[in-house]
Every structure is written in structure tokens, then in C-alpha cells.
Structure 1
């Protein structure tokens, strides 16, 4: 939802390409703006009254009547009530950009039938949606903007499930700057927060569940985006959407556009943080004081790195389904970070440009393209950090796995595992084994593993584990499994 306000507002102004400099606000100008806004729409929709533009002092008022989109919908399959026209205002600036602003609200309800033909009722309301921004016709997108929404509510109800969700409010901000190097690319940054999230779910096959969060914070950055080229590609695709296949000239043209746009970005990052998340149901209650998610892509186009991570702090779980003796083993903190380095988007892009866009791709093309993206078909997955902590254990791991995209057998692994207070963990398992004898084997196995450990200066037990491509396994330099021997077939 965090990007929908920006995206929706930009799409509404997608074709506002009239040069703003020196524009006189009059009906002729309003007609020109309308023509630009509707030129990519089907003719019947463009003439339906979906969009109206009127001069309003020093700016234009653009009115959207989205109910016109549903004029031909079968009311037995889909119907919506309360969808009233809403407007935004566009003011031309001497710089050629446009100021846009709006203050609207939404309160709709209706019903639809899904693929199974079962009816679902829904409602969607926003008490207030206020936004301002600066729109750049050259890229058909916002250069900057602020967005504020209050009292957002969504609900749906079918024969089998009922869902209610709400936010007290949402604030979002978008900024942009020209990328370094003067190459015409743009760096975008956005962030914001949603407050007081509540979701309630119930159904015939499940007891009621309530999910709450005090706030959800988010930030995203994309650098080196070829915004102008992306705009031209989108317009080209829309212009040729009805064609069964492209002519040789148009095929070469779209390839040229794509080649000019590559690499699509220089870097991308996104983080989401959920604060004081709780889940309540008849089966028990749980919560996390802070839950985080992160995604990043960066590096040169022939060696980009993809990273992903999640972390949780102060995890709690109270459920009658879990015996009290097991509760100390539930992690209170968890962190997982992984990365895939050396993604070769440059070679991948060259291979894409060499393809015939009209021909059916051969069955093996997917494997071949994967070998372009993963150089020579080799895949590496790094684990910069994996950690889990509870009242009875504290474990950290780092490592990497190397293999190939075309087989699951040819792989190797290097990993380091660190455990604090291992004796405490073993004692906890032994105590639990008094009521669950099956855990005696786990306890015995842990004591064997302890025998391979080294002790670091901080007192933690350490295992450096190496698994070679030939199947050999070593722990702290000690071979625990010899290399696999290939079976020689008789001649």
C-alpha cells in the first residue's frame, strides 16, 4: 500500500506532457491537457466522460469519474456503490514542470463474484487523502511529493471468510535528484509510516484472529533509474499492445530502447519495520517488539549483488498448544541475512537483445539465460549472518554455498557456527528429555558435536565446517568424512 498512492497519482497524470512554460490557462489549454491524458485510452473510454479538464484560475482542475470504467460491467458479477468523481489540480510552472495537488476522500462498497462464482461483499474507505507534488512531463512521473491519508478501512465478507483491516493514518514522502555523471538518469527516494494497524480475520474453518501493530515504517531508494527510457518503453508497449507480432523494424526499435535503458538501475534498497506486532487468537497469543525486512541490489551491472534479510526482536509466544517445558526453546531474537553476489545483468541483457521477440523460445532457453545471469552457470549464496537466541541457547552462523544452476549435486559449503553457553543448552535438553525420552538422542548428539568444537577467546564454542564438491567433510580441520568414491562401471 505504501507505493500505491505515489503510483496511482502518477498514473492519473501519466500523459500530462504539455509543455508548461508560458501556458495560458484557458479552455483551449484544458482541451489540450485532456487530449494528452486520454490519447492512450480506447476510443470509447476516452469519449465516455471518464475525464474532464476545466480551467480554474491559475491552474487546471482534472476530474476523474471512475464509475465510467464500470459502465459495461455485469451488475450480477461486479457492482460498486458510492464511487463519486474526484479531482486534482495541475498548475504549470515556468520550469516546464507541473505542481499537482488534491484533497479527496473515498467511501465505496459493493460485491463481486470470483472464479468460483461465490459472492463477496466489500467496502473501502479513506476519510481524507491529501497530496501535493511536482510532476515531470519528460518522465511522466513525480519528481517529488507528499501524501497523507487518514482513517483507512478495508473489509470483505464471503460465505467462508470475513476480513476487516484499518490504519489510523499514513504519511509518505517522495524526493528525487539527477544521478551523478550527467547521464540523464534519476535517483528516487521515498519513505513514510502507517500508524495503528488492525486486521481481524475469521472464517468457517478457522477461529477469529486479530493482528495489530503500533506502526509500520518504510523506506526505499532506487539510484540510476533511466526514467525517460522507461517512459518510452511503456508508451511503445501500449501503442503496440494489440499486435500479434512485431514487425522487424519495431522489433529492432524496442531492442534499441531496452539496450539504451540497460542497466535498469544502479542500486535499489528497501526496508520495512513493524513495531509492537501482536497476533491474538483462541489458539494463543504471540508478538514481536520489532520486526524488520530489508532488500538491496547494488554493484556494477556485470557483478550485481542481491541481498535479503529479516530480523525479529523480543519474540513472545503464549499458547496452550505448546507445553511450558518447551517455551525456553522458542527464540526471543532472530536474524537471517542472505545474499547472491556476481549477478551478470550485462551479459544477460546482451543475450536478451539477441533473441527473436516474435519466435517461440526453445525449451532450453530458460536454462541458457540462467547461465548468462549466473556467470558460467555458477551460483553462490552467502549467509553474512544467521543468528537465534533464547533463554537456553545463543547461536550465530556465517557461511556460503557454491553450486550450479543446472544440477543439485555439484556444490560446496563453508560455514562457521558459534554457540555461547553450550553446556547450558545441553543441560536444558537433558532436563526436557526427562519427560520426552526421544530427546536423549539429541542430547547425546550435542555432546558428540561439542567434542569437535574449539573455544574462542570470548568463551564461545566454534565449528568451522567445510564440505567439498567431492563430498569430503571437515570440521575445524579434522576430516569427518572422506571424499566420495565414484563407482567404476565394468567394461
Structure 2
């Protein structure tokens, strides 16, 4: 949601990119701003009168009539009511930058039907959307901005499913700085949403309700060639209705992509759900904190992509889980996954061999993916997977090597660590008194303990190696020979 609002506001600000010299606020200046905006919009949008600009005292008022974007849509497949124009105000600063601000709302409803899909009814409400920022014509984007929304709600409904989601309020901030390379910019945004609520119901699944007191987030992208990316987006939008791209246009798009590469130098995002709860007829659960993070960084020929999820103070109550097993429900979970050493430089070279006019073979995409992973080798790292409850404390780290062209050739190096393993075995043995099948689990844990090494901190350790030939060793002992 926040990214869509930032993007929408920033696109609006593009109206000023070619009119920075218009110091006097008059009708002629308003016309210049309007013309500059229509030049930056897709051709099919610009000609429909989507935007109008008027002098308003010491600033310009820019009005966007979103309903005109829908003129060419078949009313039999898409309908919408309540879509009113939005406006923003732009004031030229002595520095050559522009101050932009707006206060709008949204209350629309409608329906759409895709081919072969059921009809969907929707509603989208934003009580207030307030923003202010500083626009820089040199980069065609906002240098900074403050955004706030109040009472945002969305709902969709089909014959089989109904979903609604919203939050009470949201505030977030956008900042920027010069990138390390000429012509690039670094952007960062951070903020928080309060009172999140989502409800899901369907014929097959009992109603589910998801709540969070607050959702905190932060994101940053570095080394973005803003103007070049904008030009690519506008080029694609201008040709979106064409079934087949002309050869000359395809070559132009390749040139634009090549000139903009590598598009960015790094990206990261974190999201924190605070006091998250999930309620349903099947049971209730939640976590004091649920954190998600994703990062992309490194050189273009050795890029690392990483994802991490952490949950603390987990709670779970359900008739599905007998009370005797409640101690095995984890209180803490952590998962880290990474794909290192991706060669986006080689991927880009191969991708730009694709014939965008549609004449390329089906192997073009496969070749690009193969070059993304050097020599066709895919490496997946699991720096940490851990789970903690009152009866176990386990941690796994691993590296898996395989190939993109087959699922057979793979190898793995892993380390398993366990604290208080005797407590875990005792807990399983207690359950085995009423469930004899768990005796096998208890026996397996005792066998595993026999292979374990003891670390200085008292944890049991198992270093596991699975070779491509199928052989398996644990702490140097051969458990299985080659296939």
C-alpha cells in the first residue's frame, strides 16, 4: 500500500520536470506544466484529458481525473463508481526545486470479471491521504516526502470467497541522497501502520481474522538511475496495447535497458508485525513480534539475495493439538535463506539477446537463468534455522548445491545443534506412554545422541555431509555408502 501511494504521488510530481523555469504563476505557466506532464504520460492517457492545471494564488493546482483512465475499458468486464478527481498543489522554490502537497480521499466500489473467472465485487476507502514533499526536476522524482493516511479499508467478494483488510492510520517518510555512481539516487522510506485487521472467509475454509497492533517498516534502494528507469516505464506503457513489438522498438527497448543496467546496487526491506494474532474456528495463535526482512546486494556478477523471518513469544491454542503436545509448540522460530553469487551481469547480457518482437525461441529465458547461476550451479544457503520450546532448543545451518537443469545432482553440508537433548528425549518418552508410535522417535533421538559431538557450550553437534554420489557421513562417520 505505502509503495503504491508513494509511486502515485511521485508520478503526479513528474508534471513539474519540464516546467521548473515557470517562475510566474499564471495561465501560461499552468499550460506549460500541463503540457510537460502530458509529454511524460503514455500517449493513450495524455490525449484523454486525464490532467488539468490551473493557477491558484502563489502555486499551481494540478487535478487528476482518474475516471478518464477507464474510458476505454469494457463496462461489461469492469465497473466503478465514486471515483472523483484528486488534486495537488505545486509551489516553485528559490532553489529550483518544487514543494508539492495534497489532501485527498477515496471511496470507490465496483466489480470486474476476467475471462474464465468469477465476478468480483470490490470497495476501496481512504478517509484521508495527506502528503507533502520536495520534488527535484533534475531526477524527475521526489527528494523527500511525508505521507499519512487515515482509515484505509479494502474488500473484495466473489461467490466463493470474501476478503477485507484495512488499518486505522499510517505514517511514513521518504528521503533520498546522491548515489555513488553519477546519475543515480538512493531512496529510503520508513513508517508505521496502526490497527491492522484482515478477515478471510470462503466455502472451503472457516473464517480467519488476522490482527496486529502496529506494523513497522523500512526499505531502501541504492544506485537507482531514476530518469532512465522512468523512461523505460513510459516506453513500456506506450506500447502496452501492442500484441507484438516492432523490431525497431524492441531494439530501442534493449538499448534503454542496457544503458540503465544494473538498475540498482542494493535493496533491503524489513517489516515488523507487533502483537500479531490469528483467530479462527480451528484455533487461535499469534506472536509478540513477527519480523520479515529481505535484502539484495553485492557486485552485479556476485549478487546475494537473502530472506529472513523471525517470530518471538509464539502462542497457539487449538483443539487440533492435544494438551499433552503443547510443550512441543515452538515459542521462538527463526528462518534465514540466501542465494549467493548470482551473476546478474551475465543474466542481463543473455536477456538482451531476446527478440522482443516475439520471434525468440522458448530456450531464451532458460539460457538467461542458466547464466544467472554460474555454470548452471544453484547454491542455497540456510545460515540459521532454529526453533525453541520448553522441551527443545534446536538450530540448523546448511548449504545445498544443485543444478538448475536437474533435481538429481545435489550435495549438502549441514550442521545440527541441540541443547538439553536429554530433556527432549524424556518428553518424547513421556508421550510414548500413550502413543506407542513415538517409541521409534525416542529410539531415533537416542541413536542420534550416540553420533553427537559436544561443543564447549554444552550443545550436541552433528556435522552432516551428503555427497553427489549419495554417500552420507555424520561427524566423519560413514552412515551410507555411495549409490
| TM-score, L = length of structure 2 | 0.93
Taking the TM superposition and a 5 Å limit, the aligned residue runs for 1:170-209 are 170-181=170-181, 183-209=182-208
Which residue pairs with 1:475 in the alignment?
474
Q: Please say if 1:17 is aligned against 2:20.
A: no
Q: Please say if 1:430 is aligned against 2:426.
A: no
Deviation digits for residues 442-486 of structure 1, max 9, x if unmatched? Answer: 1111111111001111111110111122222111111112223xx
Deviation digits for residues 407-427 of structure 1, max 9, x if unmatched? Answer: 222221111110001111111
Q: Please say if 1:100 is aligned against 2:100.
A: yes
Which residue pairs with 2:210 in the alignment?
211
Kept after mapping to 2: 8 A contact 1:21/1:95: no
Residue 352 to residue 204, structure 1, CA distance change in 2 (3 Å): closer
Q: Count residues in correspondence.
A: 482
Q: Please say if 1:403 is aligned against 2:399.
A: no
Which residue pairs with 1:51 in the alignment?
51
Kept after mapping to 2: 8 A contact 1:399/1:415: yes
Find the aligned partners of 1:61 and 1:284 in 2 and give their Cα distance. 52
Q: CA deviation at 1:62?
A: 0.7
Which residue pairs with 2:271 in the alignment?
272
Kept after mapping to 2: 8 A contact 1:20/1:95: no
Q: Please say if 1:63 is aligned against 2:63.
A: yes
Residue 119 to residue 432, structure 1, CA distance change in 2 (3 Å): same
Q: CA deviation at 1:200?
A: 2.4
Kept after mapping to 1: 8 A contact 2:385/2:395: yes
Residue 114 to residue 405, structure 1, CA distance change in 2 (3 Å): closer
Deviation digits for residues 256-314 of structure 1, max 9, x if unmatched? Answer: 32222111111111111100000112221111111011111111111111111111111
Find the aligned partners of 1:175 and 1:40 in 2 and give their Cα distance. 23
Q: CA deviation at 1:22?
A: 5.1
Residue 49 to residue 23, structure 1, CA distance change in 2 (3 Å): same
Q: CA deviation at 1:97?
A: 2.7
Instruction: Give the secondary structure class of the aligned counterpart of 2:207.
Output: strand
Which residue pairs with 1:489 in the alignment?
none
Residue 67 to residue 257, structure 1, CA distance change in 2 (3 Å): closer
Taking the TM superposition and a 5 Å limit, the aligned residue runs for 1:320-359 are 320-358=319-357
Find the aligned partners of 2:3 and 2:45 in 1 and give their Cα distance. 26
Which residue pairs with 1:154 in the alignment?
154
Find the aligned partners of 1:22 and 1:30 in 2 and give their Cα distance. 9
Deviation digits for residues 359-417 of structure 1, max 9, x if unmatched? Answer: 53323333322221111111111111110111111001112111221122222111111
Residue 319 to residue 375, structure 1, CA distance change in 2 (3 Å): same
Segment of structure 1 superposing worse, 135-144 or 3-12: 135-144
Find the aligned partners of 1:483 and 1:97 in 2 and give their Cα distance. 68
Which residue pairs with 1:465 in the alignment?
464
Segment of structure 1 superposing worse, 378-387 or 81-90: 81-90
Find the aligned partners of 1:112 and 1:368 in 2 and give their Cα distance. 38
Find the aligned partners of 1:80 and 1:315 in 2 and give their Cα distance. 42
Instruction: Give the secondary structure class of the aligned counterpart of 1:3.
Output: helix
Residue 158 to residue 257, structure 1, CA distance change in 2 (3 Å): closer
Kept after mapping to 1: 8 A contact 2:77/2:112: yes
Which residue pairs with 2:362 in the alignment?
363
Which residue pairs with 2:128 in the alignment?
128
Which residue pairs with 2:143 in the alignment?
143
Q: CA deviation at 1:159?
A: 3.3
Q: Please say if 1:290 is aligned against 2:273.
A: no
Instruction: Give the secondary structure class of the aligned counterpart of 1:385.
Output: strand
Kept after mapping to 1: 8 A contact 2:351/2:365: no
Which residue pairs with 1:488 in the alignment?
none
Taking the TM superposition and a 5 Å limit, the aligned residue runs for 1:236-315 are 236-241=235-240, 244-248=244-248, 250-315=249-314
Which residue pairs with 2:91 in the alignment?
91
Q: CA deviation at 1:118?
A: 4.5
Find the aligned partners of 1:74 and 1:363 in 2 and give their Cα distance. 33
Residue 47 to residue 353, structure 1, CA distance change in 2 (3 Å): closer
Residue 148 to residue 42, structure 1, CA distance change in 2 (3 Å): closer
Which residue pairs with 2:414 in the alignment?
415
Question: Which ranges in structure 2 are unaligned for 5 or more consecutive residues?
Answer: none
Find the aligned partners of 2:165 and 2:247 in 1 and give their Cα distance. 48
Q: CA deviation at 1:119?
A: 4.3
Find the aligned partners of 1:269 and 1:162 in 2 and give their Cα distance. 33
Find the aligned partners of 1:42 and 1:416 in 2 and give their Cα distance. 54
Which residue pairs with 1:166 in the alignment?
166
Which residue pairs with 2:26 in the alignment?
26
Find the aligned partners of 2:219 and 2:194 in 1 and give their Cα distance. 18
Instruction: Give the secondary structure class of the aligned counterpart of 2:14.
Output: coil
Q: CA deviation at 1:160?
A: 3.2
Residue 122 to residue 169, structure 1, CA distance change in 2 (3 Å): same
Find the aligned partners of 1:83 and 1:400 in 2 and give their Cα distance. 52
Q: CA deviation at 1:238?
A: 3.7
Find the aligned partners of 1:102 and 1:65 in 2 and give their Cα distance. 15
Find the aligned partners of 1:354 and 1:213 in 2 and give their Cα distance. 47
Find the aligned partners of 2:113 and 2:356 in 1 and give their Cα distance. 36
Find the aligned partners of 1:92 and 1:193 in 2 and give their Cα distance. 30
Kept after mapping to 1: 8 A contact 2:143/2:175: yes
| TM-score, L = length of structure 1 | 0.92
Residue 279 to residue 47, structure 1, CA distance change in 2 (3 Å): same
Find the aligned partners of 1:118 and 1:240 in 2 and give their Cα distance. 29
Question: Which ranges in structure 1 are unaligned for 5 or more consecutive residues?
Answer: 485-491
Deviation digits for residues 15-61 of structure 1, max 9, x if unmatched? Answer: 43223135221111111211222236577754544322100112110
Kept after mapping to 1: 8 A contact 2:22/2:29: no
